[in-house]
């Protein structure tokens, strides 16, 4: 991933038309993604290393340390970004992970909200296709999974069908997809 620095833009065209200013390019990119080059650079730096110092990020994006600190806080406050420790569930006591596909009758929103409020649920997605919702869960063991599935998920009003996909191995999980 290219490093973003003030005064250079890797997206600059090499065609014969006169180049636009970096400011115009930054405004165009910011309107498309909601972020300017510096904010995108901050996000990408933190995706690579969530413990990077504000000073190190400031050097990469061409802002002062204080400006980076303020932008990071705005990104956190807006919900555009979170800084969290990503753990391996097996190493911290969770022996069972699964994806559950749900078919729902009626309004999906209250069911999605109820699932999202459950601490064992890591991920809730409204989908198009054979399932209305996909739910990722992390459990201590199979008993925990069974209890969650039978007593809490299947009993929600409007849930008509569930299909459980137990994880055998997590082959890839990453969070460094950058920004657009």
From 76, 42, 72, select the one nearest 59 (Cα to Cα): 42
Would you give the end-to-end CA distance of the chain in angstroms?
Answer: 12
Query: What is the pLDDT averaged over residues 1-27?
Result: 36
What is the Rg, in whole angstroms, of the alpha carbon atoms belonging to the chain? 22
**H helices of the chain, where?**
22-33, 37-48, 54-61, 65-78, 109-116, 142-147
Q: What is the pLDDT of residue 33?
A: 54
Query: What is the pLDDT averaged over residues 118-137?
Result: 96
pLDDT, tens digit (0-9, with 9 covering 90-100), for 46-86 = 988 999 999 999 999 999 999 999 999 999 999 999 888 87
Sheet containing 121-126: give its strands across.
121-126, 133-139, 96-104, 159-166
**CA–CA gap between residue 64 and residue 54 (Å, rounded):** 9
pTM of the model: 0.67
């Amino acid at each position: 991933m290219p490093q973003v620095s003030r005064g250079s833009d890797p997206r600059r065209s090499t065609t014969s038309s006169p180049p636009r200013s970096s400011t115009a390019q930054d405004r165009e990119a910011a309107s498309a993604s909601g972020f300017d080059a510096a904010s995108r650079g901050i996000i990408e730096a933190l995706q690579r290393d969530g413990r990077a110092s504000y000073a190190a990020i400031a050097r990469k994006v061409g802002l002062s340390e204080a400006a980076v600190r303020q932008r990071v806080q705005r990104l956190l406050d807006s919900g555009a970004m979170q800084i969290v420790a990503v753990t391996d569930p097996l190493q911290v006591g969770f022996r069972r992970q699964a994806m559950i596909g749900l078919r729902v009758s009626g309004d999906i929103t209250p069911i999605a909200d109820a699932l999202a409020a459950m601490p064992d649920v890591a991920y809730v997605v409204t989908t198009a296709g054979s399932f209305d919702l996909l739910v990722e869960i992390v459990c201590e063991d199979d008993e925990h999974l069974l209890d969650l599935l039978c007593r809490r998920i299947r009993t929600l009003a409007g849930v008509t069908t569930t299909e459980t996909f137990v994880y055998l191995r997590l082959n890839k999980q990453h969070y460094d997809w950058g920004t657009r």
